[in-house]
Amino acid sequence: MAIKERMSGNEAVSYAIRQIDPDVMPAFPITPSTEIPQMVSTYIANGEMDTEFIPVESEHSSMSAAIGAEAAGARSLTATSSAGLALMWEELLLAASNRLPIVLALVNRTLSGPININCDHSDSMGARDTGWIQIYAENNQEAYDNFIQAYPIAEHELVHLPVMICQDGFITSHAVENIELIEDAAVKKFVGTYSPEEFLLNPGRPVSVGPYSVSSYAMEAKKNQEIALENAKAAILETAKKFKKISGREYGLFEEYRTKDADYIMLIMGSAAGTAKQAVDGLRARGKKAGVLKLRVFRPFPADEIAAALKGCKAVAIMDRCESYNGNGGPLGSEVTSALFRNKVMIDTVNYIYGLAGRDFTVEETKAVFGELEDMIVNGKQPVQYKYIGLRK
């Protein structure tokens, strides 16, 4: 039976962690993810969890400790934001290349500089090529649901990769929303127990973790890691199908909102998808065929699936909450257009940069983007590519 509650995104993720009851959680505080280790440590202090909490001296140390614990056979996790993720950089690569199914609760916050504590996706996008699976949430419910699904994905026999569960800093992490929780026993059964085949503290089967790899073998290891990431797509969908049975909520690689007959589609990630949906409802009421494709899974990138979902429309607005500093567009702008080209889907696209460092992204601005798409197709007026939305005059 669903448990109706009101929670912030940080509370929801912390509650999911309590229900899962992992073995080890090293963590270091950083805004806006600090509440997660704070709440989990309170659960532990109150005897509601058996997790070993390790207060460490930095985020680099927290990921190092998670790697050590996971390699030893313990189900491990941590939480961080922004510069904390950047400080973990070396360790992120090690966790993925060592095929350790760690879970990281990432509360998205802009990377410096200038220093700012509000939301954009520059932290997770900066880590997009570290080999981690990345799953994004629109709201608090999805942050909770995504975290419960994280371990079955990470620990899947064909995957064995770490997972980054992302939610927007303050917008979801601190805002309180209605939420439906799943009973503890159902979550425990769904996640199951962690029984790794190989681990360091198994005296009967000694293994090495993170050894030096000579050139004759390193490339094969990287290819196997890439194959595992490809396998993750099927594991994500398989896990989502099982999750629907205990929750009634359905998830895929992305969500299509009123896209079936849409002429113009906005592709977007995270909390701003809610704003886009509201704008689409308003446009539909005026007879405009607009829709939203909300990307949930960024890694592995569902290139073929996105191309298939967009092929029937006339134009797409690709929305990046991150600056890639390549002089050409954002990360989504690059990857979505590449996916369309490779699949020979020749539709017009415009890449927009929005919401950096917590800048508001409004319904009216969303409608204006759709207006530019329509003006481009109907009147041949070419909009500015790689355009910043909401800049001060």
CATH number at residue 212: 3.40.50.970
Does residue 356 lie in a domain region? Answer: yes
* 161 and 274 housed in the same domain: no
Does residue 41 lie in a domain region? Answer: yes
SS (H, E, C) 142-198: HHHHHHHHHHHHHCCCCCCCCEEEEEECCCCCCCEEEEEECCHHHHHHHHCCCCCCC
The answer, yes or no, to whether residue 60 has pLDDT greater than 90, is yes
Q: Residue 167 forms beta bridges with which residues?
A: 107
Query: Domain range holding 262?
Result: 254-388
Show which of 213, 247, 281 is a domain's final residue.
247
Show which of 185, 218, 247 is a domain's final residue.
247
Total number of domains constituting the chain:
2
* Predicted local confidence at residue 206, as pLDDT: 87
Residues comprising the chain, all counted: 393
- What are 270-297's pLDDT values in tens digits? 999 999 999 999 999 999 999 999 999 9
Does residue 68 lie in a domain region? Answer: yes
* 169 and 27 housed in the same domain: yes
- What's the whole-number average pLDDT of the chain? 97
The answer, yes or no, to whether residue 248 has pLDDT greater than 80, is yes
* 50 and 192 housed in the same domain: yes
Does residue 393 lie in a domain region? Answer: no
* Predicted local confidence at residue 203, as pLDDT: 86
Does residue 277 lie in a domain region? Answer: yes
* Predicted local confidence at residue 393, as pLDDT: 83
Show which of 215, 247, 279 is a domain's final residue.
247
The answer, yes or no, to whether residue 236 has pLDDT greater than 90, is yes
The answer, yes or no, to whether residue 24 has pLDDT greater than 90, is yes
* 113 and 83 housed in the same domain: yes
* Predicted local confidence at residue 211, as pLDDT: 86
* 271 and 382 housed in the same domain: yes
The answer, yes or no, to whether residue 1 has pLDDT greater than 80, is no
CATH number at residue 307: 3.40.50.920
* Predicted local confidence at residue 178, as pLDDT: 98
Determine phi and psi for 165, rounding to 5 degrees: -100, 115
* Predicted local confidence at residue 162, as pLDDT: 98
**Kind of pairing between the strands at 254-257 and 290-295:** antiparallel
* 357 and 240 housed in the same domain: no
- What are 328-361's pLDDT values in tens digits? 999 999 999 999 999 999 999 999 999 999 999 9
* 263 and 332 housed in the same domain: yes
* 225 and 352 housed in the same domain: no
Structure tokens of 74? 């313990």
* 243 and 282 housed in the same domain: no
Does residue 325 lie in a domain region? Answer: yes
The answer, yes or no, to whether residue 208 has pLDDT greater than 90, is no
* 209 and 303 housed in the same domain: no
- What are 173-201's pLDDT values in tens digits? 999 999 999 999 999 999 999 999 999 98
User: If you write DSSP's letter for every residue of 256-319 in order, what string do you get?
Assistant: EES-TT-SEEEEE-TTHHHHHHHHHHHHHHTT--EEEEEE-EEES--HHHHHHHHTTSSEEEEE
Does residue 162 lie in a domain region? Answer: yes
- 81 pLDDT band, cuts 50/70/90, is very high
SS (H, E, C) 138-158: CCHHHHHHHHHHHHHHHCCCC
As a whole number of Å, the CA-based R_g of the chain is 21
Q: What is the mean pLDDT of residues 144-164?
A: 98
